[in-house]
Amino acid sequence: MSTTPRMPSLRSLRAFQVAGRHLSFKLAAEELCLTASAVSHQVKNLEEFLGIELFVRKTRALEFTAPGSNYFEYLDTMFMRLQMETQQLRAEYGRKMIRLCLPPFFASELFLPKMEALQTMMPDTDIRISTQPSLMKDHPAEADLSVLLGNDDWPDLITYPMFARRLVIVASPSQLKKTDPKSFKSLNGQTLIVHENRPKAWINWAKTIDAPKPKAGNILRFDSMSAVVQAAAQGLGFAIVSLPMSRKWLDSGALQQVFKAEWTTDEYFYLAHRSEEQNRPEVTELIHWFIKEFQHDG
């Protein structure tokens, strides 16, 4: 009885092919969204399976061995053909898909309320949504489109400015009774709510308006903007929140603006993508929708 010959894992073959294209475990890891040690481990597994060395490992680079070079050329051609056949199959028979990465609070407060209208406009396109904190300023390798917060310092990306990050101080109606809307000093002794990713927010606010930093009675720390807003709405303290993301909380009356002053930071929310994505009609359609819905959103 014949048996099917054992084959190396697709994961190890892919790791070797990408590492061979870059001649670097580090660069291969960035493309594959892995660690360099994980890529190195996969290649080592492949070498042990084959019983030959594919790379000569040097301090800062890789070099092919003779069999490694031959094997890479074969695999590279095969993976390119597989990619082309897959794209052709999807284009002819499959549904279109866009991978979209958003900051969590942007997703929950601005994007999801408009998701139904977007699905109606693009019924043949699946949108896969992931989130990453707004302080993570890099466009994810696995995303087609992303919303980034920063100063447009992404030379390798195409970006579209949507709106500036504007900040106000808010509290619940019950908490508002404890302050004088004409005096910043009335925050002294109050509970201040802090987002752990922006621990200096109250200090920066005070510097912006040239006022002393408020002397908190207590400090509540949360690791998400959603928790910050909900804690403030429950009357647990005073918070600094972003507009327009927090607009519905103010419009509903669950939160109220403590002082008339608001300040605009030097950061903007941008829609971003790699240059090659603009060749996809479904991506272009989603870009136009984002600009229409969110650019200069107040």
Which is it for strands 263-273 and 218-222: parallel, antiparallel or unpaired?
Answer: unpaired
Q: Are 265 and 281 in contact (CB under 8 A)?
A: no
Per-residue pLDDT tens over the stretch 42-61: 999 999 999 999 999 988 88
**pLDDT, mean of residues 193-197:** 91
- pTM beyond 0.75, yes or no: no
Q: Are 145 and 280 in contact (CB under 8 A)?
A: no
| pLDDT above 70: percentage of residues in the chain | 96
Per-residue pLDDT tens over the stretch 239-255: 999 999 999 999 999 99
Q: What is the DSSP string of 164-210?
A: EEEEEEEE-HHHHTTS-TT-GGGGTTSEEEEETT-TTHHHHHHHHTT
**pLDDT, mean of residues 136-147:** 86
Closest CA to 239 of 191, 169, 287: 169
Closest CA to 152 of 296, 270, 11: 270
Confidence of residue 146 (pLDDT cuts 50, 70, 90): very high
Please tell me the predicted confidence (pLDDT) of residue 54.
96
Own/partner contacts of 68-72, CB < 8 Å, gap of 24 or more, are 68/20, 71/16, 72/16, 72/17, 72/20, 72/21
Please tell me the predicted confidence (pLDDT) of residue 276.
87
C-alpha 189 chain-centroid distance = 36
Q: Are 255 and 176 in contact (CB under 8 A)?
A: no
Per-residue pLDDT tens over the stretch 210-235: 888 889 889 999 988 999 999 999 99
Tell me which DSSP letter residue 212 carries: P
Please tell me the predicted confidence (pLDDT) of residue 92.
62
φ, ψ for residue 128, nearest 5 deg:
-100, 120
Per-residue pLDDT tens over the stretch 76-109: 999 988 887 877 776 666 678 899 999 999 999 9
Gap between the Cα atoms of 57 and 253, Å rounded: 63
Ordered by where they begin, the domains of the chain are 10-93 (1.10.10.10), 96-164+267-294 (3.40.190.10), 166-264 (3.40.190.10)
User: Is the sign of the CA dihedral 47, 48, 53, 59 positive or negative?
Assistant: positive
Mean of the per-residue pLDDT values of the chain: 89
| pLDDT over 60 (residue 4) | yes
Gap between the Cα atoms of 204 and 12, Å rounded: 48
Please tell me the predicted confidence (pLDDT) of residue 61.
85
Please tell me the predicted confidence (pLDDT) of residue 90.
67
